[in-house]
Chains A and B, each alone.
Chain A
């Protein structure tokens, strides 16, 4: 690890100010950042710890929407009784205990690792990402591997899952199926299927060179007929990731299998 300055601002405004320097980086749970720093793969003059200014809390507001503070750790999401089971299950299976006890939903979404779990769930459920400056729809937020709509100095303060009864796109059920890469236990392929008032949404993580994406063919088929048999054949392998754990063809096939399993799991 290279030497660095550590600051822990007490307010979002102070954090934004601290992040003005080009050599500064934001850290939430640090579960992705710190390993790269320890391996000297990243060098930052200043690490701005956001855990002093972001909420680590979950609340239900309006008529059933779930609001999760940007600094909320996965372990808290996994065990909070107000969180729907499909979302708690996702959080309960992210990483290992250390990752779940330090890593946060805001950090995961800001990093947008192409094999992370939360992006698929946020995208499939049409969640809204709120920052210090604006609210961003999930469909506008994810812009490719490790790339998001966040601008310099923009910090995720809250994530809203539209589970309230008056939401036009209300999510009334969802399921995330993770097929793990055996070594890292990240998603080799992760598929989240969500049933909403506006139809079925299907989002896929781990598989694409473009990061998390919506599988629109499956959405159309499942919106018409929500059954495992309706899941279309595997999407084209072209554009899928390939590595020593899975070729593009295999990943494409697993998208098909995991989508079916999500549908079956949703009964």
Chain B
């Protein structure tokens, strides 16, 4: 049995008290003396040359202290935005990164591109003045999708990228894969699109920049998933200030889903403007700005061929993917359709030969970067749609085809870099099939048909790579940063504990989960433990939270630091109690000598460490230990999702009748929080599969730029999920954790789409909106 507040306990989230009572403090809640407000003048055109900017009326407008343009920004030496993961094309050339100035200078490349910033005493005055800035444009031809970007005569979006191509990259053995497909008993082919999404965090992006002229020091409050990375990039690449002159605080953050990993133009401009104008500057995106400028996700078009032998074993998998990266290369955009995508194309299956070619393109749309799952949903969707299609063509059940090809021996080296450490794919499929009552499906289908409805069932057996990632490994693949994590454990003189973590919580529940591993280790109540994160002046360093890494990497760093603290605690107690360290146990708020009544209360140990009156010879005073943890491998959460739908053939409306998730996340610290992560992930996956869709018209105007047109999933769109976990412990980290943050979003879209295809007997692309389904039925 888990301790009440230890590993395995479903502790309710301690942070939710402040979040649900309006006591959270988000960036926009912060104020300071003399605060001014920034408002951006943005391009209304998707592609145009800026022929003139007249700021005079705006500068004379009430309350305005400054109106700045891109020439002033670059003139002050502020660097262009960069992409931090270098990808090399198969011809050996580096990726073609077009210049991206935080304020556009001569060319605008998507609707929403920032051109001018107005700084005024109130937001209303800033908006009024922004309306008086006269920007003259000469419109240029526009492309919004890959097909347009590669078409002959397509407009050139960046001079650096001829033909709009950013890179042409490959992974795997092309010749061996071609040979395997040539020799296959059967080859299944498909064309597949992965639709573009908006991240839609509940809290929009925001930044507040303050400059202290006395110390020549800048402070930035911002909506970041990784404040130290923000400080590093702002310092090293954008020349905002050296790291010791810049403090980045990411306070409570209301959701990120990847979109708050990146450094955006707005925070750069706020920092620069705060110093230049001599006033503190705050900017908070409105929802329209969020839709226009938050980095979007997905947007792939692919063709795929999978070959099978006479026994229905996969012999080869060949994929050609074209990805739309938008108008500029966002911070990690290049890695998403490459190392976060194609390395997962083996799925849960033994596939001896894989080759994937990925070409990425600029278009006149918002930048595209990681969004919950980041590359892995695209891989999973491709494989799991393919398995279902292949099962149909091979005349076997989708479940049987998957079981025939499941990897059963671990570790397993795929042909595309990844080495899976553990897993039990049959176990999660068994659990899902039982929960979904697959045996009863035929009767349910018959009942639906009797009412004129079409019923379908769809599987998805996902695997993903989390815990990103061994620093040396990702460095060799082009990453510009290491991907370790750090922690510091401070035991205070009165025994309370502060954990300083480089992970960042923006909805994940770290303040509860992280405290549970401390509570478990030292048998202390949660209210004696505080998790500190999100401030570069407080926390030593950190790489932040994304890629489901906070458990597998962030908590591993905490465990390493706890090990050091425990060792020192035992040394002190052994010294004071005149006992052997081997005889000591920590329980019930004390360090006890087993088999005796001798003990030191926990706070007495802390006090001893800081009074230093009676420490072992040579021991330093204090009780504070730090650790850096660099993972040895990715982790590989996996599972089976089964979705059952009923389709109304008259309207095309899809009703999700049931959704089952059976996940292997390794060790689960807090089942309640893990279940919540799966629920949220599935909701976002259902969103992608059925509801959400970013649509630009041919002029590059965003057609789905408000909640009136961009369909977020709502409670009545979703069934009551049935979720369960089935652990195989990850051998690569001390807690055996694999990670759970993205699985729901990765695993669910193919299950839903496969179910719809099973119901209607026709192929369909996402989103399975009513009209798309109705058209498919009647095609």
Binding site for B on A (CB under 8 A): 1, 3, 39-40, 179, 182-184, 186, 243-247, 250, 253-254, 257
Question: Complex formed: what's the CA distance from A243 to B693 in Å?
Answer: 13
Listed from nearest, the 10 A-B pairs whose CB atoms lie closest are A183-B711, A184-B708, A250-B771, A182-B711, A257-B650, A244-B695, A244-B703, A183-B709, A246-B771, A257-B651
Please name 19 pairs of A and B residues whose Cβ atoms are closer than 8 Å in the assembled complex, sorted by A: A3-B124, A40-B127, A182-B691, A182-B711, A182-B769, A183-B707, A183-B708, A183-B709, A183-B710, A184-B707, A184-B708, A243-B703, A243-B709, A244-B693, A244-B695, A246-B771, A250-B775, A253-B774, A257-B651
B691 partner residues in chain A, CB cutoff 8 A: 182-183
With an 8 A cutoff between CB atoms, is B704 at the interface? yes
Given A3-B124, A182-B691, A257-B651: A245 in contact with B708 (beta carbons within 8 A): no
Q: Please provide the chain B residues from 729 to 779 with a CB less than 8 Å away from any CB of chain A in the complex.
A: 769-771, 774-775
Contact between B650 and A244, CB atoms less than 8 A apart: no
Contact between A179 and B769, CB atoms less than 8 A apart: no
Given A179-B651, A183-B708, A183-B710: A245 in contact with B769 (beta carbons within 8 A): yes
Question: Complex formed: what's the CA distance from A247 to B772 in Å?
Answer: 10
Question: Complex formed: what's the CA distance from A70 to B457 in Å?
Answer: 50
Question: Complex formed: what's the CA distance from A133 to B382 in Å?
Answer: 65
Question: Complex formed: what's the CA distance from A112 to B704 in Å?
Answer: 23
Question: Complex formed: what's the CA distance from A242 to B288 in Å?
Answer: 23
A243 partner residues in chain B, CB cutoff 8 A: 703, 709
Interface size of B in residues (CB-CB distance below 8 Å): 21
Known A182-B770, A244-B704, A250-B770; 6 more pairs at CB < 8 Å: A39-B288, A40-B127, A183-B711, A244-B703, A245-B709, A257-B650
Q: Please provide the chain B residues from 691 to 745 with a CB less than 8 Å away from any CB of chain A in the complex.
A: 691, 693, 695, 703-704, 707-712
Given A3-B124, A183-B710, A244-B695: A250 in contact with B774 (beta carbons within 8 A): yes
Give B653's nearest chain A residue, CB to CB: A179
Given A183-B708, A183-B711: A245 in contact with B288 (beta carbons within 8 A): no
B693 partner residues in chain A, CB cutoff 8 A: 244
Given A183-B711, A184-B708: A247 in contact with B771 (beta carbons within 8 A): yes
Given A39-B288, A179-B651: A184 in contact with B709 (beta carbons within 8 A): yes
B704 partner residues in chain A, CB cutoff 8 A: 183, 244
A186 partner residues in chain B, CB cutoff 8 A: 708
B741 to chain A minimum Cβ distance, whole angstroms, is: 26
Binding site for A on B (CB under 8 A): 124, 127, 288, 650-651, 691, 693, 695, 703-704, 707-712, 769-771, 774-775
B775 partner residues in chain A, CB cutoff 8 A: 250
Contact between A245 and B771, CB atoms less than 8 A apart: yes
A182 partner residues in chain B, CB cutoff 8 A: 691, 711, 769-770
A247 partner residues in chain B, CB cutoff 8 A: 771
A222 to chain B minimum Cβ distance, whole angstroms, is: 18
Given A244-B693, A245-B769: A254 in contact with B651 (beta carbons within 8 A): yes
A184 partner residues in chain B, CB cutoff 8 A: 707-709
Question: Complex formed: what's the CA distance from A245 to B711 in Å?
Answer: 10
B770 partner residues in chain A, CB cutoff 8 A: 182, 246, 250
Q: Is the interface of B mostly helix, strand, loop or mixed?
A: loop
Question: Complex formed: what's the CA distance from A84 to B319 in Å?
Answer: 60
Give B652's nearest chain A residue, CB to CB: A250
Question: Complex formed: what's the CA distance from A184 to B712 in Å?
Answer: 10
A254 partner residues in chain B, CB cutoff 8 A: 651
Give B772's nearest chain A residue, CB to CB: A250
Question: Complex formed: what's the CA distance from A247 to B775 in Å?
Answer: 11
User: By CB atoms of chain A within 10 A, which of B704, B710, B774, B775 has the most?
Assistant: B774
B709 partner residues in chain A, CB cutoff 8 A: 183-184, 243-245
A1 partner residues in chain B, CB cutoff 8 A: 124
B353 to chain A minimum Cβ distance, whole angstroms, is: 40
Give A188's nearest chain B residue, CB to CB: B770
Question: Complex formed: what's the CA distance from A1 to B127 in Å?
Answer: 9
B124 partner residues in chain A, CB cutoff 8 A: 1, 3
A42 to chain B minimum Cβ distance, whole angstroms, is: 14
Question: Complex formed: what's the CA distance from A245 to B707 in Å?
Answer: 13
A257 partner residues in chain B, CB cutoff 8 A: 650-651
B707 partner residues in chain A, CB cutoff 8 A: 183-184
B650 partner residues in chain A, CB cutoff 8 A: 257
Give A247's nearest chain B residue, CB to CB: B771
Question: Complex formed: what's the CA distance from A1 to B711 in Å?
Answer: 25
Question: Complex formed: what's the CA distance from A179 to B771 in Å?
Answer: 12
B159 to chain A minimum Cβ distance, whole angstroms, is: 33
Question: Complex formed: what's the CA distance from A208 to B108 in Å?
Answer: 37
B771 partner residues in chain A, CB cutoff 8 A: 245-247, 250
B712 partner residues in chain A, CB cutoff 8 A: 183
A40 partner residues in chain B, CB cutoff 8 A: 127
Give B651's nearest chain A residue, CB to CB: A257
User: By CB atoms of chain B within 10 A, which of A3, A40, A245 has the most?
Assistant: A245
Give A184's nearest chain B residue, CB to CB: B708
Give B711's nearest chain A residue, CB to CB: A183
A253 partner residues in chain B, CB cutoff 8 A: 774
A204 to chain B minimum Cβ distance, whole angstroms, is: 15
A246 partner residues in chain B, CB cutoff 8 A: 770-771
Question: Complex formed: what's the CA distance from A40 to B126 in Å?
Answer: 13
Question: Complex formed: what's the CA distance from A3 to B703 in Å?
Answer: 29
User: By CB atoms of chain A within 10 A, which of B127, B770, B775 has the most?
Assistant: B770
Question: Complex formed: what's the CA distance from A230 to B750 in Å?
Answer: 40
B769 partner residues in chain A, CB cutoff 8 A: 182, 245
Question: Complex formed: what's the CA distance from A96 to B207 in Å?
Answer: 32
Question: Complex formed: what's the CA distance from A182 to B691 in Å?
Answer: 8
Give A96's nearest chain B residue, CB to CB: B714
Question: Complex formed: what's the CA distance from A51 to B769 in Å?
Answer: 39
A183 partner residues in chain B, CB cutoff 8 A: 691, 704, 707-712
Give B131's nearest chain A residue, CB to CB: A40
A39 partner residues in chain B, CB cutoff 8 A: 288
B588 to chain A minimum Cβ distance, whole angstroms, is: 50
Give B691's nearest chain A residue, CB to CB: A182
Question: Complex formed: what's the CA distance from A247 to B694 in Å?
Answer: 17
A244 partner residues in chain B, CB cutoff 8 A: 693, 695, 703-704, 709
Question: Complex formed: what's the CA distance from A81 to B730 in Å?
Answer: 62
Question: Complex formed: what's the CA distance from A246 to B769 in Å?
Answer: 10
Question: Complex formed: what's the CA distance from A253 to B651 in Å?
Answer: 8
B708 partner residues in chain A, CB cutoff 8 A: 183-184, 186
Question: Complex formed: what's the CA distance from A39 to B710 in Å?
Answer: 17
B705 to chain A minimum Cβ distance, whole angstroms, is: 11
Question: Complex formed: what's the CA distance from A179 to B648 in Å?
Answer: 13
B680 to chain A minimum Cβ distance, whole angstroms, is: 20
Give B648's nearest chain A residue, CB to CB: A257
Question: Complex formed: what's the CA distance from A250 to B710 in Å?
Answer: 19
Give B774's nearest chain A residue, CB to CB: A250
Question: Complex formed: what's the CA distance from A244 to B195 in Å?
Answer: 14
A33 to chain B minimum Cβ distance, whole angstroms, is: 15
Give A256's nearest chain B residue, CB to CB: B650
A245 partner residues in chain B, CB cutoff 8 A: 709, 769, 771
Give B128's nearest chain A residue, CB to CB: A2
Give B693's nearest chain A residue, CB to CB: A244
B423 to chain A minimum Cβ distance, whole angstroms, is: 37
